[in-house]
Amino acid sequence: MSAETITAGAGAAGAPASGDLKAELRRRGLTDVDDTTLTRAMYSTDASIYRVVPQIVARPRHVDELDALLDASRTLGVPLTMRGAGTSIAGNAVGTGIVVDTVRHLNRVLEIDPETRTALVEPGLIHANLQKAAAPHGLRFGPDPSTHPRCTIGGMIGNNACGSRALGYGRTADNVVDLDVAYAADGDVPAQLAALVEAHLGHVRTSFGRFSRQVSGYSLEHLLPERRSLDKFLVGSEGTLAVVRRARVRLVPEVARHLVVLGYADMFEAADAVPALLAAVGQQDVSTEGSALVACEGMDARIADLVRARGGSVPQLPRGAGWLMVEVVDPELLTTVVAAAGALDHRVVTDAAEAAALWRIREDGAGLASRSLPTPAYSGWEDAAVPPAQLGAWLRDFDALLREHDLDGVPYGHFGDGCVHVRIDFKFDDGGASFRDFMTASAHKLAEYGGSLSGEHGDGRARSELLSIMYPEESVRLFGAVKAICDPANVLNPGVLVDPAPLDADLRPARPRTREGVPALRFLHDEGSFGNAVHRCTGVGKCVAATSAGVMCPSYQATREEKDSTRGRARVLQEALDGALVQGVQDPAVHEALDLCLSCKGCSSDCPTGIDMATYKSEVLHQTYSGKVRPRTHYLLGRLPQWVRMSAPVAPLSNAVMRIKPLASLARATAGIDQRRSIPTFATTTLRRSQRKAQKSAQQSAQGAGAEQAPDVWVWADSFTDHFFPRSGHAAIQVLEAAGLRVRVIEESACCGLTWVTTGQLDQARSIMERTVRTLAPYVDSGVPVIGLEPSCLATLRSDATELTADPAAARVAVGVRTFAELLTDLVGEGRVRMPDLTGTEIVAQPHCHHSSVLGWSADEKLLRDAGATLTKVAGCCGLAGNFGMEKGHYEVSVAVAETHLMPAVRANPGAVVLADGMSCRVQLADLADVETLHLAELLASRLEG
């Protein structure tokens, strides 16, 4: 324990009202404190099923402000709850008083000491950022929870987090060297705790630390005289005993690891194999750089099936319906593992990308498992653990309990440690009574195995009440005595561990939905319920990762504000529909949360639970403005295809007018466009018009030579390709005709209605979509391939068509219109098209966000790599995103989004071809980088021989 350990000042209790509390905290020097409706709604829940609205949220800028917060809490009698990334599954990070968010400011690595292999960090430091700082020294922080891209070191200390590789690296408690903490108590806390344990030595020796994942309650074994470590004891105390100011943690050498996947008939048989594996391979601390069993993880087939169903890629798995993912340091141990496994089948994964993909699926387990059953599944009974020798028997008994209570769940987790994660399809329509019955029955059954209610996530509000079932009465009394020593006023995270809140109190899913109404969209995957859709968010927080290799969530990556994350927005929408704080979707808090949503749809593919915030934003805008006057941009930018069709006959004149600066400025002001934006140039001849002439000539020739032959490919001229970038269409036709294919452009106008959708003009969007479906369906039904060239328009057909209309043809059109790359892939495979040789061509590719999230860019990527191109694929969104980046008030964020991935990639590759199929991406690159961009079709057309 650091010599800097302090105690909070004493004072008289007397809880102030919310406004008074904000003033009091400001008086004490805290500047970043927020009691707005928006913020209180966002912080009313974590990743658990509990909803507790705080009085205020504080984001301390310095550890001294932590001291001030603790002093205010004790003096005023206001509860204080520490919060890291908000990924706590048991309700550990919600509270009625002050919720303290350390991520915003207290997030630094203060020191890396390669000699002692330690790091000094602030509590809000994100795990991934510690790894990044340690990596140049060949070191890493050992424990790696599945939430490692966003969880904080302080949060890991609070819950004694472990992660997938605890067999090799240990728990957080095993990797803490020293804690600098503040207590809400006077006196010599360490001496009082030591005396308490001295008085109960026999009980502490026999009741605590019986196996590695016994982390429920307080870990009193760390206070035994022979191993006394107050620092390790405080790990896992869930913010109920002290506030962590700084932490010194152990680092270990980064070593190569080797993965084998073992297949079994089911998860029970996978669990049965664990004891033999542990006995055959053994465990050894990786920090000694010896051979070690680093990980032994269980994964259920239903999780892999869900990834496939959502269009994701799952590397080849061995036969079976349940798998163990076993990782070792010494590759020679793989033979020993396979021999001891008794598996149906196995596969040694040697490809690093495949191994990373498998671990990514495992890391997304919590979110995926919540959607792996016919109805939503929830946390609550989340991470119980038993001694590994008992794992198979426990899983069978647990499964029987689920059946007995008419429930189901998908087990997965840290099988080598005996720790099982599961999401269960609890029914909350009885107010939580059945939830209580199951939780209590499971606790009694677990006690028969000598298990722990929590194996790494803490007890929180979900399981603290059950500690009296797991532990004898003397242990529970000791917990109370510890709390009285460290926090006599009970202001630190009250309701957790000691004097617990009822486990069925404050259940978020049990709240009635009072403001849902009838949505305009069909919400096909959520039983037609907008409420069900927004409650997909379980708070796993992948959207608030320190960095993102996907599209989600571009505005959060730019601003680092919780309100601009997918999770923050979902929480506000949940509160709007069934809470008491936010008054429906028209509440200003909802619109503030949604303002910077780019409608990129990145969350629809990147979020493990399948949140689609773009769709929710459209529904909110529809409900808010239906029958009312809308913002001006909705009428102008939101109906852009309508205006460009009207102006097409005078396109040259329009372009000339827009070159006159005063008139261009007036046009921007009228349309609500930021003055720093360029206005895209209209095509003087649309794609349909130019091809109509060519086709007419071809028809005349055909009449002379006989009947005109049917085309091999139809091109759908969406509004943006037709009126702004017809050269993309001409290039696609050129590439296909060079291969001897007959190509024709669909003559009828067929707009997808995208701009109406994104601005929430859903009644009009529905009418437009129904006309488009009627237009395109005969072409799709003919069996001749139909391609679309603008990713956002094609994505609207695939993702929004069936949500807008019940016409059965919409589903056929949705899957029937294909990307240029998808068609080329088939044609190349059939030998009908030969890709140009792109060897030596350096490409920076910015996939349109809808291309990545809805259509999938894998076909494009494979074509380019197979053709020999050197490819840099840009992650994330370009930042323009349709009308978002054009509108006044969004320019700075639009540019900041571009600077997260796109602009650095372009600057780092100055001579590369910049590939961008989407109009938004092309306009953004023209505005910010003044670089020429090409559509995939244009690139290939430029490389045709002859």
- Partners of 651 in beta bridges: none
The closest alpha carbon to 796, from 846, 838, 752, belongs to 752
Residue-level pLDDT at 284:
53
Residue-level pLDDT at 625:
96
CB contact at 8 A, 885 and 926: no
pLDDT in tens, 803-861: 999 999 999 999 999 999 999 999 999 999 999 999 999 999 999 999 999 999 999 99
CB contact at 8 A, 820 and 789: yes
Confidence of residue 871 (pLDDT cuts 50, 70, 90): very high
DSSP 126: B
Count, residues in the chain: 946
Rounded to 10 degrees, the C-alpha dihedral 508/510/516/519 comes to 90
Q: How far is CA 76 from CA 22, 71, 242, in A?
A: 12, 8, 17
Rounded to 10 degrees, the C-alpha dihedral 109/608/399/295 comes to -40
Q: How far apart are the first and last CA of the chain?
A: 76
User: What's phi and psi for 286, nearest 5 deg?
Assistant: -60, -25
User: What's phi and psi for 132, nearest 5 deg?
Assistant: -65, -40
Give the whole-number percent of the chain exceeding pLDDT 90: 88
SS3 readout for 282-295 = CCCCHHHCCCCEEE
CB contact at 8 A, 755 and 640: yes
Helix (H, G, I), strand (E, B) or coil at 261: strand
More confident residue, 141 or 17: 141
pLDDT in tens, 696-748: 766 666 665 555 688 999 999 999 999 999 999 999 999 999 999 999 999 99
What lies within 8 Å, CB to CB, of 609 at 6+ separation is 367, 368, 370, 371, 536, 537, 538, 540
Residue 473: both structure tokens together: 């009465």
DSSP string, 482-541: HHHHH-TT--BSTTSSSSPPPTTSSBGGGS---S----SS--GGGTT-HHHHHTT-----
Where helices occur in 199-247 by DSSP H, the ranges are: 201-207, 230-234
Residue-level pLDDT at 369:
82
pLDDT in tens, 309-360: 877 889 999 999 999 999 999 999 999 999 999 999 999 999 999 999 999 8
* pTM, 2 dp: 0.92
Residue-level pLDDT at 82:
98
pLDDT in tens, 269-313: 999 999 999 999 865 555 554 447 899 999 999 999 988 887 788
Give the largest Cα separation in the chain, rounded. 107
- Partners of 424 in beta bridges: 378, 409
The closest alpha carbon to 712, from 777, 784, 781, 787, belongs to 784
CB contact at 8 A, 802 and 810: yes
Burial of residue 93 (CB within 10 Å: 0-12, 13-18, 19+) is: buried
* Average pLDDT over every residue of 25-41: 96
pLDDT in tens, 756-788: 999 999 999 999 999 999 999 999 999 999 999
Say if residue 12's pLDDT is above 50: no
Helix (H, G, I), strand (E, B) or coil at 355: helix
Strands 56-58 and 817-819: unpaired
- Rounded to 5°, the CA angle 551-917-802 comes to 65
Confidence of residue 564 (pLDDT cuts 50, 70, 90): very high
Residue-level pLDDT at 701:
63
Alpha carbons 763 and 72: distance in angstroms, whole number: 52
Confidence of residue 64 (pLDDT cuts 50, 70, 90): very high
CB contact at 8 A, 553 and 592: no
CB contact at 8 A, 676 and 880: no
Say if residue 180's pLDDT is above 90: yes
Helix (H, G, I), strand (E, B) or coil at 785: coil
Residue 273: both structure tokens together: 């194999």
pLDDT in tens, 605-636: 999 999 999 999 999 999 999 999 999 999 99
Helix (H, G, I), strand (E, B) or coil at 445: helix
Residue-level pLDDT at 797:
97
Alpha carbons 481 and 495: distance in angstroms, whole number: 15
